[in-house]
Structure 1
Amino acid sequence: MRVRYEEEVRRSDAFREALADRVIQTAVIAHQKAEILRTEWARHVAPEKADREISGIRKQMKNAGKSVSGGM
């Protein structure tokens, strides 16, 4: 009985850790999307710089997605 309980606790802890990682990653992606919107709005001031920033942010998002996809 105790072994079963300990196994359930381990599973629960692993699930919570995976969920916390996913929540953090979602927050990071939301922040990056907000940065893209801000940068797109600033395009009228310096279009080339804005395009470079957007490209960099999207690349970060793509890399972040790869690191999370196998986690859950």
Structure 2
Amino acid sequence: MPNTPDRPRRVRVQRDGPLLVEGPVEVVGENGEVTVSTRFMVAVCTCRRSRIFPWCDTSHRRRGPRPGEGDAS
């Protein structure tokens, strides 16, 4: 379903996880490359560890935080 002023696109933010976006979506990368998904919901990688970036492949679950991330205790 396309987004409209009456039904805006929904984006779910998760701590330590991807952004969940109601699809279909187009993601424009830093280099201007456009990646398209027609799925009803997509997970957009925010940790940049995914092998299928910009889509999440759950790599954030398998690895600990990057140096400088997470709790300093």
Q: So what's the TM-score if we normalise by structure 1?
A: 0.23
Bigger share in helix = 1
Give the number of the structure whose alpha-carbon radius of gyration is greater.
1
Bigger share in strand = 2
